[in-house]
Structure 1
Amino acid sequence: MNAPFQENRSGEKKSPLKVLIAAPRGFCAGVDRAIEIVERSIERYGAPVYVRHEIVHNRYVVEGLREKGAIFVEELDEVPDDAPVVFSAHGVPKSVPAEAERREMIYLDATCPLVSKVHRQAERQIEKGQHIIFIGHQGHPEVIGTMGQVPEGRMTLVETVDDVAKLSFTEEDDLAFLTQTTLSVDDTADVIRALKTRYPQIIAPKAEDICYATSNRQASVKAIAGECQLVLVIGAPNSSNSLRLVEVAERMGATSYLIQRADEIDPAWLENVDTVGVTAGASAPEVLVREVLAKLGEMCDVTEETVRTTEEKMIFKLPRQLTE
């Protein structure tokens, strides 16, 4: 039988701590694909390979690719004509590949296929003469990319139920809606409900736009947060899906913090805590999860338990330039 307390390196007693590890967590198929596109591009074309915007929102991943020969820029005009460039997983406006083609550049599109699906839906809705209400977060790269798929003025962004109340459309207007793929499932359901109530004629997408990975990670947090006093979400502060995981945990009654690395854990957070949940956003690698668990093990006598809510088997194909 384990002793109720163990000693740490300084000889002090370590309190017992149960750690519930959410599964699924961490990398999704779109992130795996995007990172592999950058790595294979460097192998095929040689360094440097330019990447427009962070390939995924994770500093550890970005720094690792930078060490291999990736150069990250925000705009295409920062890329030399003769250098290969990769577009990030979040997607880009149509004007970006159009400019790359005008300059006869080698470019590879790492846009997540589920984001590309939303882009194609937007095009079809515009072809039908519909005005699109897009549910998303102002300024997020995915929102900028999606709104850039259609002529200016044909898509209106809303973030909240209050935004829906401020819309000036009528029940005679031909409307459709789409959503960012990394939103809160619950919040988005509320906004969609408000849209359908105000505009009964609004056309919904054929399938939910929030991606499987976002939904699955939120469900896995819900499965553990009710048993935890504290939930640690590993992810970047500019990662939409990671921020949503913090919100989900807090709604379940747990204190939750977004951290990028284990050294951000404040020992004070663990005071009077006997159960901690750990998860990671879709752009955070598993190595950072293990780092956090090791850090918790230094501070407490940890017992780990993985709580799995579903299996993920999704795989996305690489661009033809890298497979032919």
Structure 2
Amino acid sequence: MEIDYRNKLILAPMVRVGTLPFRQLAAEYGADITYGEEIIDHKLIKCERRINDVLGTIDVVEKGTGTVVFRTCPEERSRVVFQMGTSDAVRALRAAQSVCMDVAALDINMGCPKSFSISGGMGAALLTKPDLIHDILTTLKRNLDIPVTCKIRLLKSPQDTVELARRIEKTGVSALAVHGRKVADRPRDPAKWSEIADVVAAVSIPVIANGDVFEYEDFERLKVATGASSVMVARGALWNASIFSPKGKLPWEDVKREYVRKSILWDNDIRSSKHTLREMIAHYSSLGLPEWTAVIKSDTLEDLARLYEEEKYYEHVNEKRSSFLGSR
């Protein structure tokens, strides 16, 4: 089923954050589409798909180590977008074939400015290789039954960005996400909404605008300012995932506690949960606070349950799993 990319509130891809618990949290608060964290094609090729009957999930697991690289569930099948890092069309297709049956769409990361992406020819390194972009996107589009999209950053000039967007449109992708910053820009630099508007005016496919959304009202402001079909948020959602709620943000403490519950429910990797909680805490409070230290010292999800007073929920979830295993 094709995703409709018009009038949607979208959770942006965030490394080590966009796992199943956080995606489900954002969806519960009102996100229409949720992007997973970027997974590199090299890693995906080393994985196999497994059904996890205990959790009710589909797991993409690294062979040999048993490490869960990607976890999803049937409830999010119609809205979860798998984001991949790649620099090779054939490898990208091979990797995508292991996840395409369980996600709503596939997105290629062409905006990450981090050195690990750029050094591998991925992420923002693709922005200067339009022929390779064309090769990757057309190969995926021709061979996959799900929508294919990509996410870019602004280039050196507005005209360069527009030309690339037009080239991308010709590949037949279903939508294009544009982060309103250049590779050299820092998060504190204001997003250039006017340059996203230039892209919207130049193409006919849906454009997803991304950059400087920190309150629910900013979704509409960015949409009106750019003419974009939909709006995507990263940091604003990380700091308080209830940004997606038209009723207004929930108290920060409630959102953290609900994230911990979902981490327990989906047996999330403890390192990912700790990282996400640290990012939440860092925005609102001093890093020296006892809570920050306690999160760092937590070794298990049970430790986090204790810290956030969710011991009863932890026990309840584990009792249900034990009874399920006992009945098999």
Same fold, TM-score > 0.5, yes or no:
no
Higher relative contact order (CA 8 A, sep 6+): 1
| TM-score (norm. length: structure 2) | 0.29
- The structure with more helix, counted as a fraction of residues: 2
Which has the greater radius of gyration? Answer: 1
| TM-score (norm. length: structure 1) | 0.29
